[in-house]
Structure 1
Amino acid sequence: MVEFWCSLVLLVLLIFFSGSYFWLRKQYSYFEDHRIPYLSTSVWSPLGHLRQLLFLRISFADLFRNIYADPKLDDDAKVVGFFIFQTPALMIRDPELIRLILIKNFNSFLNRYEAAAGTDNDAMGSLTLPLAKYHNWRDSRQCMSTLFASGPMKQRMYPLMLKVANDLEDYLEKRVTVGGLTLPLSEMCQLYTTDLTGTLFYSLDVGGLRSGHSQLRQITKELFSPNIQKVFHFMAIFFLPTWTKVLGAKVFTEDYANFMKHLVKNPHLKHQGDLIDQLAKMKQNRPPTHYCQHEDFIASQAGIILLAGFETSSSLLAFTLYELAKQTNLQERLRHELHQAFAPDFSYLSYETLVNLPYLKMVCLEALRLYPAAAFINRECTVDSNQNGFSLKPHLDFVVPPGMPAYISILGLQRDKKYWPEPDRFDPERFSSDSLANILPMTYIPFGAGPHGCIGSRLGLLQLKMGLAHILRLYRVETCDQTVSKIEFNAKTFMLEAKDEIYLRFVRDAP
């Protein structure tokens, strides 16, 4: 009898593993059947090309860059197929196809692939601008975009940003002695970013740079700090969007969600022209059944704005200072421009002056090439299921089926030697007035492109310029024994973040 049951168990296991093998083999033959270049994966693994990512051994940015730049690919391959678990996905490598998907045929790729669990299961997540589906996304985008227009940025935001810039200078003055001081960049840059976010969007005087501590920074850092549950939720939202409801995945932790709910309802804050004020006006002008009338609508947008800018903006400032510290000739050229702009009696620059400083602009654009605000983006084919899909002819003999995700590795694209000679070298001259005409369209899209492009791109660039201007006008940054020789990206975060702390030495100019 024992032998019988053992034999039966072995037979069941054999059938199960054989069935799984042949089923996965069929799934993974998708691109071979359609004669599309693709990256092979183990038939024995149900994870597709996500194994290293799921085990936190590679960053999102590096994963998609590696797929884009796989050495086995032909240089002229316009797309490459890969697998998200068993779901076929495309990596778009051709600038014209990128333009087709992001701009020209936007109506066929209306949504991002990732998704939250819906308002009944994760209202805070599903209402956010990046995860809202098109019919909801369009209204929110139109409402929030008025905040980032040049008029409000110049008239309302810029004076508030100058106060934070002064706090940044005071932060360094309290710490840097005559002989200089080695500092870790993450704390300073994160305090600067969260102070700006709180001031501009919530009318909240955060004061992190003044006190050296910020609750806004702390609550955001805790959200980004990985644990098994957060990783599980995050991976489900990004790679199993149709399963988020079943899996109970949530974008925000309960602590973060509650913090944002209390923040937007704080009766002591006077919201005039900020994000909360803008969204409240939107609610007043929409019918009671409109999705923006949900009680968590304002808190959801406030929460995602902080997350979207927290790591990208703070890391970008740190990365730029790091590159300038390694090339003192570039740093001195920029500091010379800043000294002339500030002049002896100026403690700040006008909006027009800061925006138009030519070498500062070149430095920032090159920093965004090497360290794009969005390391990768994706779009889901939203052509009606009654149709076959979206044809890529005449560029490629392939029809993208409804629901298929198409990915663009902005990091891979902007470090592709085909478009950027010596792509890993920091060289602001790529963006000189004489060189701009040589940049192939759609090979430089650090904030994405098209209607789904980053809503805060102009503000992100402005706060990078302001941070650099108010640091480098008084201080020289230098590498030291603790400075990493090469930036590696953190595998435990979604955004571009250095794996190791970046240390630089700050030296104050002689009076």
Structure 2
Amino acid sequence: MIILLIWVAVLIAVLVLYLRQIYSRFSRYGVKHFKPVPLLGNMTRILLRINHFADDIFSLYRSFPEEKFVGRFEFLNEIVLLRDIELVKRVCVKDFEYFLDHRSVFSTSDSFFSRNLFSLKGQEWKDMRSTLSPAFTSSKMRLMVPFMVEVGDQMMSSLQKKIKESKSGYIDIDCKDLTTRYANDVIASCAFGLKVDSHNDVDNEFYAMGKLSSTFNFRQVLIFFIISNAPKVAQFLKLDFLSETSKKFFRKLVLETMENRELKNIIRPDMIHLLMEAKKGKLTHEDIKPNDGAAGFATVEESAVGQKEINRVWTEDDLIAQAVLFFIAGFETVSSAMSFLLYELALSPDVQEKLAQEIKETDVKNGGKFDFNSIQNMPYLDMVVSELLRLWPPGIGLDRICTKDYNLGRPNDKAEKDFIIRKGTGVMIPAIAFHRDPEFYPNPDKFDPERFSEENKHNIPMFAYMPFGIGPRNCIGSRFALCEMKVMAYQILLRLQVSPCEKTTIPAKLDRETFNIRLQGGHWLRFRARD
């Protein structure tokens, strides 16, 4: 018994010394951080659902205002959080090759997630980026806008019917459900060439799979952190974000659609067609233009990485993986942004009316037609969307992993030595914290589209606005997302007025049960016909 107690004491002592070694590195270099909890690091408040992930990031960013970067522990793993926009520029652009990859968040090689553009690493990522870049130019988006308008017409028909049938002349609805169904139908049409009406056929298979694959509930948050911080454990447990049912669904959908089009020689300018062209090596880079911001201020431009000609042959699974990524990214992130857009417009009736007036004038001018040219000629709509993406960026933080040891410099003016970030260490760029920093945006919590007017937008620091990321590894789908948001805003505000109702969450408070940005209690708003 005494021997057993001695062994227990020895093991505890070894564990204590090990944890002390792990958790003391930031302190040794003068890097500020919150005191970690043994084994959990700085994850306690998220795991106990006291904080949303965004709240946790805000707290760390704002607690050390004099620092260029600060530390964070996800369980036993070091994460460096950047607070200085010059450092952001170095990491994401100037010294990009040191931070080429995202952190590994997908555990199994047979997962569609592990083969998509977000997850690929090194040269494979560069090749895939170059392969897909021509599919996301403004000229390609121009062809997809009519599909978005068609889906929006379905949505408006459903909304107007419900308002007409209501005795009160208005309806109260959860906008997250509305925008998710709209985004689902847009992806079905623009990516897969399917006609889906989720507003009437509420339980259709395409929508059910989207919800299953993209809703990051608390269980999936745990899976995410296990995969990213303990990949070997995740691999042993065979953890994956996609269920076997979802994998079979997407494989069948993509392959059968491609086969049918080849057989019947069907050409439709959607994502499946573009992936088929990519497989044949027929996508060209001739229409990628530098500084192509045709879809709006927030558009990110393609770097030289994405403009190289690639002759690589991709497998069927590689192409399915890109279709799955496009589906899930479009399903959740865009629907979140649109639900917050409607929320902010409801709480800012002056902004809503000014935008509605621009929309009405554009509609009259174009004889009721709305296309890509309309998007380009609506400056206030772009201001509103740009400001929304500042206030509520769907990507709360950007992540990178250090691929070889890198000198970040000193964390503050008082530090005595440089901090060398080691290979394999994660780096976080807290987009939402930069976007709400009063140093860059006066009165940062106010929804104020005038920040992005012609007179003011030059005041926005280049590396303090990142709704679609920064540098070569930015979001390839920024033009698509911006077009989708603008089409929906146009169609709703042309016919309907949005206002708060009894269930509206005021002030905004994020739901701690999910990794996604979502309001606690839902995005409830009131819709009535516009006079």
**TM-score w.r.t. length of structure 2:** 0.86
- 1:29 equivalent to 2:50? Answer no
CA distance in 2, matches of 1:260, 1:428: 39
Q: Which residue of 2 aligns with 1:431?
A: 452
State the Cα distance separating 1:18 from its structure 2 match: 2.2
Which amino acid in structure 2 is aligned with residue 446 of structure 1? P
CA distance in 2, matches of 1:225, 1:195: 17
Alpha-carbon distance change, 485 to 105 in structure 1, aligned in 2, over 3 angstroms: same
Alpha-carbon distance change, 303 to 425 in structure 1, aligned in 2, over 3 angstroms: same
Residues 308-457 of structure 1: pairs in structure 2 closer than 5 A: 308-343=329-364, 346-383=367-404, 389-393=405-409, 397-457=418-478
Alpha-carbon distance change, 290 to 320 in structure 1, aligned in 2, over 3 angstroms: same
State the Cα distance separating 1:225 from its structure 2 match: 4.8
Q: Residue by residue, what CA displacement relative to the aligned partner does 1:324-360 show, whole Å, maximum 9, x if unpaired?
A: 1111111111111111111188333232222331111
Q: Which residue of 2 aligns with 1:386?
A: none
- 1:166 equivalent to 2:149? Answer no
Tell me if the contact between 1:183 and 1:505 (Cα under 8 Å) persists in the aligned partners. Answer: yes
Which amino acid in structure 2 is aligned with residue 292 of structure 1? W
Tell me if the contact between 2:46 and 2:53 (Cα under 8 Å) persists in the aligned partners. Answer: yes
Structure 1 unaligned spans of 5+:
384-388
Q: Which residue of 1 aligns with 2:295?
A: none
Alpha-carbon distance change, 159 to 398 in structure 1, aligned in 2, over 3 angstroms: same
Tell me if the contact between 1:203 and 1:271 (Cα under 8 Å) persists in the aligned partners. Answer: no
- 1:262 equivalent to 2:252? Answer yes
Q: Which residue of 1 aligns with 2:198?
A: 208
Alpha-carbon distance change, 425 to 226 in structure 1, aligned in 2, over 3 angstroms: closer
3-state SS of paired residue (1:176) = helix
Tell me if the contact between 1:335 and 1:473 (Cα under 8 Å) persists in the aligned partners. Answer: yes
Residues 108-127 of structure 1: pairs in structure 2 closer than 5 A: 108-119=98-109, 122-127=110-115
3-state SS of paired residue (2:498) = strand
State the Cα distance separating 1:226 from its structure 2 match: 5.8
Tell me if the contact between 1:315 and 1:498 (Cα under 8 Å) persists in the aligned partners. Answer: no
CA distance in 1, matches of 2:389, 2:215: 25
Q: Of 38, 49, 58, which aligns to 2:42?
A: 49
Alpha-carbon distance change, 292 to 219 in structure 1, aligned in 2, over 3 angstroms: same
Tell me if the contact between 2:127 and 2:312 (Cα under 8 Å) persists in the aligned partners. Answer: no
RMSD of equivalent CA atoms: 2.3
Q: Which residue of 1 aligns with 2:117?
A: 129
CA distance in 2, matches of 1:77, 1:428: 30
Q: Of 115, 122, 141, which aligns to 1:153?
A: 141
3-state SS of paired residue (1:96) = helix
CA distance in 1, matches of 2:58, 2:136: 30
State the Cα distance separating 1:285 from its structure 2 match: 4.4
3-state SS of paired residue (1:256) = helix
CA distance in 2, matches of 1:229, 1:39: 25
Q: Which residue of 2 aligns with 1:15?
A: 10
3-state SS of paired residue (1:111) = coil
Tell me if the contact between 1:316 and 1:367 (Cα under 8 Å) persists in the aligned partners. Answer: yes
Which amino acid in structure 2 is aligned with residue 83 of structure 1? F
Alpha-carbon distance change, 374 to 381 in structure 1, aligned in 2, over 3 angstroms: same
Residues 226-237 of structure 1: pairs in structure 2 closer than 5 A: 230-237=220-227
CA distance in 2, matches of 1:102, 1:153: 26
Alpha-carbon distance change, 230 to 181 in structure 1, aligned in 2, over 3 angstroms: closer
CA distance in 1, matches of 2:187, 2:59: 33
Q: Residue by residue, what CA displacement relative to the aligned partner does 1:264-286 show, whole Å, maximum 9, x if unpaired?
A: 02255656343223333333449
Q: Of 54, 74, 94, which aligns to 1:61?
A: 54
Which amino acid in structure 2 is aligned with residue 33 of structure 1? R
Q: Residue by residue, what CA displacement relative to the aligned partner does 1:86-128 show, whole Å, maximum 9, x if unpaired?
A: 2222000101100111111111111011242342xx3422101
Tell me if the contact between 1:117 and 1:126 (Cα under 8 Å) persists in the aligned partners. Answer: yes
Tell me if the contact between 2:67 and 2:83 (Cα under 8 Å) persists in the aligned partners. Answer: yes
Q: Of 311, 314, 327, which aligns to 1:292?
A: 314
Tell me if the contact between 1:123 and 1:296 (Cα under 8 Å) persists in the aligned partners. Answer: no
Q: Residue by residue, what CA displacement relative to the aligned partner does 1:444-482 show, whole Å, maximum 9, x if unpaired?
A: 111111111111111111111111110001111111111
CA distance in 2, matches of 1:359, 1:473: 14
CA distance in 1, matches of 2:400, 2:255: 34
- 1:281 equivalent to 2:277? Answer yes
CA distance in 2, matches of 1:228, 1:338: 40
Q: How many residues align?
A: 489
CA distance in 2, matches of 1:225, 1:148: 25
CA distance in 1, matches of 2:187, 2:426: 32
State the Cα distance separating 1:431 from its structure 2 match: 0.9
Q: Residue by residue, what CA displacement relative to the aligned partner does 1:142-182 show, whole Å, maximum 9, x if unpaired?
A: 2222221011111x211211211211221211111372221
Structure 2 unaligned spans of 5+:
283-310, 413-417
Tell me if the contact between 1:325 and 1:331 (Cα under 8 Å) persists in the aligned partners. Answer: yes
State the Cα distance separating 1:231 from its structure 2 match: 4.3
Q: Residue by residue, what CA displacement relative to the aligned partner does 1:419-441 show, whole Å, maximum 9, x if unpaired?
A: 11211111111111111121122
3-state SS of paired residue (1:486) = coil
Alpha-carbon distance change, 291 to 85 in structure 1, aligned in 2, over 3 angstroms: farther
Q: Of 171, 174, 178, which aligns to 1:181?
A: 171
Which amino acid in structure 2 is aligned with residue 448 of structure 1? G
Tell me if the contact between 1:124 and 1:251 (Cα under 8 Å) persists in the aligned partners. Answer: no
CA distance in 2, matches of 1:291, 1:58: 45
Alpha-carbon distance change, 204 to 96 in structure 1, aligned in 2, over 3 angstroms: same
Residues 51-90 of structure 1: pairs in structure 2 closer than 5 A: 51-69=44-62, 71=63, 73=64, 75-90=65-80
Alpha-carbon distance change, 419 to 298 in structure 1, aligned in 2, over 3 angstroms: same
